[in-house]
Amino acid sequence: MTLSKHRVAVVTGASRGLGRAIALRLATEGCSLALTARDSAALESVVTEAKQLGTKDAIALPADLSLPDAPGEVIKHVIRHFGHIDILINNAGDTQRGDFLELSDDLHLSGFALKYHATVRFCRAAWESLEASKGCIVNISGIGAQTPDPLFSIGGPVNSALINFSKAISKRPGAPRVNVVCPGHIETDRLTHRINTFAVQNGISRTEAKQRLQNRLGLDAYGKPEDIASMVGYLCSPEAGYITGSTFIVDGGATPGI
């Protein structure tokens, strides 16, 4: 599987975790990269790693993507620098876990602002260039979309909305390919925080908490960011040329439904 050596990819939330892994995977395929997130220092570090792995051109575009104008400004900068866009990976966004009675309106609104509305705005801003290049979009959702959880009443609806939105825009005449990846329990900062919280709540060590939570989730192992990056890399490749409007669950079998 090899991507074109001249493809330009935009990756949001690229400073760490899944976004970093996806950016580095695309770098190994020779893609030029535009990476965006809030943390400028972390982005520059990923840019350095990407260049070491084979990308000829990579730029960091720090931005608060929850702001309405930010996605459009990022895309304008990318077009000015590279001339076009072939790949858009919408990965930015995190949502607060907790009992819905304790989650404020502001937390709901901020969850949608960064993960859902930013995705919509990036797709809108990049659409013309992606149509022209016959490119592709991969939106990163999550398994909360398929399995409602009383402690994930913001993230679940946001993830479900992303899938619905992605399917809808994939049906526009002349659309670029649009697909969704739903990661499961992946070893990122977010999972680390969840394990640490579980340890404190139960008065146990972090090592025991990690294993107990894994058992509770019915997993043989937690996933790695590279597991998600591999799926995204495939969906951006010519081998996936006939795949659009689809959702791919990468969760080690955690999702109980079909």
Domain ranges of the chain: 8-186+225-250, 187-222
Any idea what the Cα angle at residue 119 is, between residues 122 and 16, rounded to 5°?
100
pLDDT of residue 140: 98
φ, ψ dihedrals at 245, nearest 5° = 70, 20
- Whether the CB-CB separation of 255 and 249 falls below 8 Å is answered with yes
Closest CA to 144 of 188, 186, 203, 87: 186
219: helix, strand or coil:
coil
Distances from the Cα of 48 to the Cα of 6, 29, 45, 59, 64, angstroms: 19, 16, 5, 9, 21
Any idea what the Cα angle at residue 75 is, between residues 72 and 76, rounded to 5°?
85
112: helix, strand or coil:
helix
Q: Does domain 8-186+225-250 have CATH number 1.10.10.1150?
A: no
Query: Could you say which DSSP state residue 252 is in?
Result: T
- Whether the CB-CB separation of 228 and 18 falls below 8 Å is answered with yes
Q: Which amino acid is at 200?
A: V
- Whether the CB-CB separation of 113 and 65 falls below 8 Å is answered with no
Residue-level pLDDT, tens digit, the chain, 258 residues: 444 448 999 999 999 999 999 999 999 999 999 999 999 999 999 999 999 998 989 999 999 999 999 999 999 999 999 999 999 999 999 899 999 999 999 999 999 999 999 999 999 999 999 999 999 999 999 999 999 999 999 999 999 999 999 999 999 999 999 999 999 999 998 889 889 998 998 999 999 999 999 998 889 999 999 999 999 999 999 999 999 999 999 999 999 887
